[in-house]
Amino acid sequence: MKSPRSLIRPLVRELHPYVYGEQPKIKGLVKLNTNENPFPPSPKVLRAIKGATDGRLRLYPNPTAQPLCEKLAKLHHCKSDNIIIGNGSDELLALAVRCFVEPKQNSKFKIQSSKLAKATVQYFAPSYSLYPVLADIHGAAKNAVPLGANFTLPGVADVKRAKTWSFKAALTFVTTPNAPSGCGYKTSELEKLCRAQKGIVVLDEAYVDFADENALKLTLKYPHVLVARTFSKAYSLCFQRVGYFVGNAELIAALHKIRDSYNVNGLGQIAAEATLDNLGYYRANFKKIIATREWLSRELTLLGFRVFPSQANFILVVPPRFTAQNWLQKLRPRAVLVRWFSARDVKQYLRITIGTRMEMETLLQAVKKILHEK
């Protein structure tokens, strides 16, 4: 009898999976580690979900989430065939790798280096830590290229000079605004980069509702550019797992071919549709979160933290006195959970999700106590 381990594909055996933010269910915990929205979904959204929990749960949901696509098409001034809905935008990021990138090698042949670009997933470092995992799962090559100083987007001339950037990479992910730094990018800068790329570019706008500008117009202008959005962060729907891509109809149709038949759960579709009928509620929350972000950034700066300017619902900081990992450990017993990444290039930082003003007051009190520790 073979060992179970030997039955697993070598690629999967060796794989380092994505590291999730912790989801503890401890009462009274100020949870600032996974960029969830501190405000609940609108009461109308909750009513829509409750109203749908009846005998209909025995039926399959709409396989393409068509009514939701149509509402989104109206919102974004495009056609419904420019939109695909996913089980969170994470699912669509994974589909993009499978759809547009060749595996580096399969059982028959090893890809020649001249063809490596066709097997390359490219992204800036640091950015969303899922991208390299998706590339690894697919057996694709990874090209992680450092961002500029303070997480700025390198210009086309800069990446050309650095020589490590591939203008022919099959797929390039750009997190905009950047995570984990929160650094916002101008559409004009993104456009220059997009124009220079020969392969697909996914602009991952998971946090864009907290930013000054979005780059949606680029996807309607350039057929090789896709924009990823999610209902998780700005629309308080992490639990329901709904995200989407906007892009060229031919690319969207290709993604439809490889998704699961009923990839978006029915209650998620209903929740997302009701969300789009209540945008005023969410827009008021964006304003509150942005104001709290700016206030917290000032307060932490006064306490000696280095705070990077953010256009997202989180901030990245370099804390004073102790290492970032120590701060994580010291905040936790005070019922405050923040995010620390162990990767070499980001281990000096803490990422703090913007919560309610009251949650931020609790954080600041804990920080002050830690700073005054003997």
Q: Which residues bind ligand PMP (CB under 6 A)?
A: 88-90, 128, 175, 179, 204, 206, 230, 232, 238, 243
For ligand PMP, the closer of residues 111 and 350 by Cβ is 350
Residue (245 or 305) nearer to ligand PMP, CB: 245
Dist. CA 71–CA 50, nearest whole Å: 21
Rounded to a whole number of angstroms, the minimum distance from the CB of residue 183 to ligand PMP is 12
Q: Which is nearer to ligand PMP, 199 or 243 (CB)?
A: 243
How far apart are alpha carbons 208 and 229 in whole angstroms? 8
Report how far residue 17's alpha carbon sits from residue 15's, in angstroms, rounded to the nearest whole number: 6
Using only C-alpha atoms, what is the Rg of the chain?
21
Q: Could you tell me the smallest distance in angstroms from the CB atom of residue 278 to ligand PMP?
A: 19
From the CB of 285, what's the least distance to ligand PMP, in Å? 17
Tokens at 187, concatenated: 């559409």
Q: Is 89 or 143 the residue whose CB approaches ligand PMP more closely?
A: 89
Minimum CB separation of residue 23 from ligand PMP in Å reads 12
SS3 content of the chain, % helix, strand, coil (to 5): 45, 15, 40
CA distances from 107 to 9, 10, 99, 139, 356 (A): 12, 12, 19, 12, 52
Chain centroid to Cα 174, Å, comes to 10
* Strand, helix or coil for residue 80: helix
Which is closer to ligand PMP, CB of 230 or CB of 236? Answer: 230
Rounded CA-CA distance 134/98 in Å is: 9
- Min separation Cβ 115 and ligand PMP, Å: 29
Residue 336 token pair: 């405050």
DSSP-assigned letter for residue 193? H
Q: Which of residues 116 and 207 has its CB atom nearest to ligand PMP in the complex? A: 207
Whose Cβ is closer to ligand PMP: residue 118's or residue 259's? Answer: 259
Q: Least Å distance between CB 255 and ligand PMP?
A: 15
- Smallest distance, ligand PMP to C-beta of residue 169, A: 19
By the 8 A CB rule, do 340 and 33 touch? no
What sections of 16-155 are H helices per DSSP? Answer: 43-52, 66-76, 89-100, 130-138
Coil, helix or strand at residue 201: strand
Q: Residue 22 has which token pair?
A: 């912790």
User: What gap in Å lies between CA 61 and CA 68, rounded to an integer?
Assistant: 12
**Between the CA of residue 341 and those of 18, 43, 128, 150, 181, what are the distances in Å?**
12, 35, 11, 17, 12
Rounded least distance, CB 244 to ligand PMP, Å: 9
Helix (H, G, I), strand (E, B) or coil at 263: coil
Residues 67, 225: contact at Cβ < 8 Å?
no
In angstroms, give the least distance from the CB of 264 to ligand PMP: 11
